[in-house]
Structure 1
Amino acid sequence: MSELSNIAKGMTVVGADGAKIGVVAAVVDQRIQLEANDVGDHAGQSHFIPGGLVADVEGDTVRLSATGANAVLLDENEDGTMAD
């Protein structure tokens, strides 16, 4: 989790396979808050990625240990419940 201190707003979050997950809005309570999406069923909602999924921070990119498809299955709402 020490990688979380190296994460800043505006960094790109990618899965282990390079698939883009989103853009960092903030690091909150050991989780990465992604910028809210403006389209679809979740428009205007922020989602959070557990900090334990961070594998590395390389320049302006946060690389997760999970693939993009798996990471989005693990995203959470602000209250910690699983996002649907």
Structure 2
Amino acid sequence: MADLSAIKEHMDIIGADGVHVGTVDKVEGDRIKMVKADSGSHGDHHHFIAGGLVAAVEGNQVRLSAEGAAAVLLEEEEGGQAIMDDDD
């Protein structure tokens, strides 16, 4: 896991495949809190990315070890539970 203290507000979160996953709001503990605008149909609250998915922090980007589509599936809600699509 990369050094989460290097992550700053408004950095881009990028999947291993180069796909934009979100934008950093801030780091809370061992998770990255994303801005609400990146929460899709759940835009009334924040989503989180586990710090363990961070491969590197380079320039203005947080690079993840997972591809973008997989990282979106691994997003977490406020309490730490995984997000389930309403269609599931």
What TM-score range do you get, normalising by the shorter chain? over 0.9
Using structure 2 for the length normalisation, give the TM-score: 0.88
The answer to whether the 8 Å contact 1:9/1:24 transfers is: yes
Using structure 1 for the length normalisation, give the TM-score: 0.92
**Structure 1 ranges of 4+ moved more than 3 A:** none
Report what 2:20 is aligned to.
20
Report what 2:78 is aligned to.
78
Q: Point out the structure with the larger helix share.
A: 2
CA RMSD of aligned residues (A): 1.6
CA distance in 1, matches of 2:18, 2:38: 22
- What residue identity is the alignment partner of 1:5? S
Task: Name the SS of the counterpart of 1:23 in structure 2.
Answer: strand
Unpaired runs of 5+ residues, structure 2, are none
Are residues 1:44 and 2:44 paired? yes
Aligned length: 84
Unpaired runs of 5+ residues, structure 1, are none
* 1:44 shift after superposition: 2.0
Over the matched positions of the two proteins, sequence identity in percent amounts to 50
